[in-house]
Amino acid sequence: MLQKISTRQLRAGMYIERFEGSWLQHPFWRGSFLVRHDEELRTIRDSGVDEVWIDLRKGIAPLDEPGSQAPAHAAPPGDPAPEACAGDAAAVREPRVDFGEEVLQARRIYDGSRPMLRSMFEQARLGRAIDAAGAAELVEQISESVRRNPWALLSVARLKLADEYTYMHSAAVCALMIALSMQMGLDEAQTRDAGMAGMLHDVGKALVPAAIINKPGKLNSSELQAVRTHPQRGFDLLRRMGGVAAAALDVCLNHHEKMDGSGYPNSLPAERISRVARMGAVCDVYDATTSNRPYKTAWDPAGALRRMAGWSGSHFDDEVFQHFVKSVGIYPIGSFVRLESGALGVVVEQGTDSLLAPKVRVMLDAATRARLGPRIVDLAAAGSHDRIVGVEDPFQWGLAQPGEYL
């Protein structure tokens, strides 16, 4: 039997089936689990979540308190919330390799991908068939890295240079699509197809004049129209090649379609946008907004997620976006954050349990602006009493992009 209680009534030994309230404040990767110790209780209460559903068959019942909620609550009708579903994919979130160890391998994969991706876009520019075998091999390497540790390659991919964005964006979106697929519990074939879709989604940009793609100023109407031809032109190129998975064709054509029908190239209504295209839309925008471009500075990763959350439901599929946040973290790697202690630092690694308790490399004292360390603070460590209280702009503190400190 399920019962909804306030987080004030929660205690160790209770089994949380799912969280109520804002999903963006949901503090754990897993959607359902047994509360084992007081540190977990503190994390939940500090997160701002007001109520949870507990399973009385799997854990202890609430204490009888004056004014407490009666225990006769049944689970609400309908499908379980995405938070509950996330527990089904919990196993793929557990890193098999230490972050520091995998990031070295991830860097080799990412750096090694440059010649192949540069060649792929050059062949596309000439209207020739791309190296499908080479792309498939790279997708497999990226997939294996993400499986070994979900965050290592995602952190490396953030460090792309502005002048290599067009083709290295492909590797980043491939990694994001694979991580998202794993979080959503897709099978191996679907995950591989989603990765290939991410790799090939922007190939049509090779057919748009580079002067337009890399223009530092605002595009005029004819230039904007030229850019908006890239989904159709990429789709036509891939279809002529033959042998390209349907998912890759779909994402190439439809990754700029929006749930409210205002996207391009075909202004599709939501019901005609496939799940994999909805995934591609989120991954594409996240990497685009968090990358330096010739015409704009990258958004902070955590700030990008908060802006994107405001577009969820109109631009993005809400459930897919919820899963995406869980695949990168509420404070993704590279986010520049303020801790309750007054220290400022950059998120360098996700915690394995809590969305709100990553590892942070602290660098500045906010009160004195004095340099600290740097040293790593594990917010999920037993006995840690610090927590993230906000996101900061590193430039306002005299720092370069926080990615340089990863």
Q: What is the pLDDT of residue 352?
A: 72
Q: What is the pLDDT of residue 383?
A: 83
Q: What is the pLDDT of residue 75?
A: 41
C-alpha 195/C-alpha 199 separation (Å) is 6
- Whether 53 contacts 382, CB under 8 Å: no
CATH topology of domain 99-328: Hypothetical protein af1432 (1.10.3210)
Give pLDDT tens digits along the chain (406 positions): 789 999 889 988 898 988 876 555 555 656 678 888 777 788 788 777 888 889 888 888 887 544 444 343 444 333 333 333 333 344 345 667 888 889 999 999 999 999 999 999 999 999 898 998 999 999 999 999 999 998 899 888 887 877 788 899 999 999 999 999 999 999 999 999 999 999 999 999 999 999 999 898 889 999 999 999 999 999 999 999 988 999 999 999 999 999 999 999 999 999 999 999 999 999 999 999 999 887 788 888 998 999 999 998 899 999 999 999 989 988 999 899 999 999 999 998 888 777 888 999 999 999 999 998 878 999 988 888 899 999 998 878 877 654 445 5
Q: What is the pLDDT of residue 298?
A: 87
Q: Counting beta carbons within 10 angstroms of the beta carbon of residue 390, is it exposed (0 to 12), middle (13 to 18) or buried (19 or more)?
A: exposed
Tens of pLDDT, residues 161-187: 777 888 999 999 999 999 999 999 999
Quickly tell me which residue has 């019901």 as its tokens.
Answer: 271
Instruction: Specify the 3-state DSSP secondary structure of 298.
Output: coil
Maximum pairwise Cα distance, the chain: 75
Domain ranges of the chain: 2-92, 99-328, 336-405
Q: What would the two tokens of residue 316 be?
A: 């993005």
- Whether 51 contacts 5, CB under 8 Å: yes
Cβ-Cβ contacts under 8 Å for 358 (sequence gap 6 or more): 329, 331, 333, 347, 348, 349, 350, 351, 379, 380, 388
DSSP code per residue over 75-128: PPSSSPPHHHHHGGGGGGGS-SS-HHHHHHHHHHHHHHHHHHHHHHHHHHHTTP
Q: What is the pLDDT of residue 401?
A: 54
Q: What is the pLDDT of residue 64?
A: 56
Q: What is the pLDDT of residue 92?
A: 44
